[in-house]
Amino acid sequence: MIKTMNFSRANPSPHYLELQAMYRQMHMKGEEFLGRPAADTFPGFSLDAQIYRIKSLVVQTGADTVLDYGCGKGKQYEPRPIKDAAGVLWPGVIDFWDVGEVVCYDPCYEPYSKLPEGKFDGVVCTDVLEHCPEQDLPWIIRELFGYANRFVFANVACYPAHKRLPNGENAHCTIQPVEWWMALVSDIARDHPGVIWEFWVQSVVTTPAGTQYVEQKITG
């Protein structure tokens, strides 16, 4: 059970506010632990591993507008060749998805820090939720669903990150098993029966062959 203490967008936890300040610092100054300059810190390319899954949801739901919630610097949407399953090259992610609009939101990067208005056909959130305090996740995930008319897509890592925050802490502050995420998301999703949702939860498994990353889809 998560102890939320009535945290919300209007009243986030102190830890959430502390993390926001550190992520703003990293966007401006870079990631010291790995020696990454500001331009290469949270550029947004974590979306790339998910664009084909998101495309499937766009096609399934007929979505035309998408909100990228936690987009980083938004470089993932700059013009660059994207190859589809048939080998056809598209000039960028938006063209590949064949949507009319993608809106970027990231509270820690000034150009995209304004809270979006209205609703969107789809909401995507990649490499974000594990960076959020556990006690704030209920209102954050409710916000994802609140913005969505047709689908919500997210991925989550259940292991420590390579990145470190300026205070030395690991960047993944919420590390929970897939069952925990399933319980949390499905409970919130019940209040949004018209919204399809798909979360990909990645765990680390140790086998005789070595360490492996295993993904599991939870959906509803």
CATH of domain 14-219: 3.40.50
Q: What's residue 22's pLDDT?
A: 97
- Return the structure tokens found at 163: 């990145």
**Distance set, CA 161 to CA 14, 172, 206, 213 (Å):** 22, 6, 17, 13
Q: Give the span between the Cα atoms of 202 and 139, in whole angstroms.
A: 22
Q: What percent of the chain has pLDDT over 90?
A: 90
- For residue 206, report the phi and psi dihedrals to the nearest 5 degrees: -95, 125
C-alpha Rg value of the chain to the nearest Å: 17
Q: What's residue 119's pLDDT?
A: 98
Mean pLDDT of 60-87: 97
Mean pLDDT of 117-137: 98
pLDDT for 1 beyond 90: no
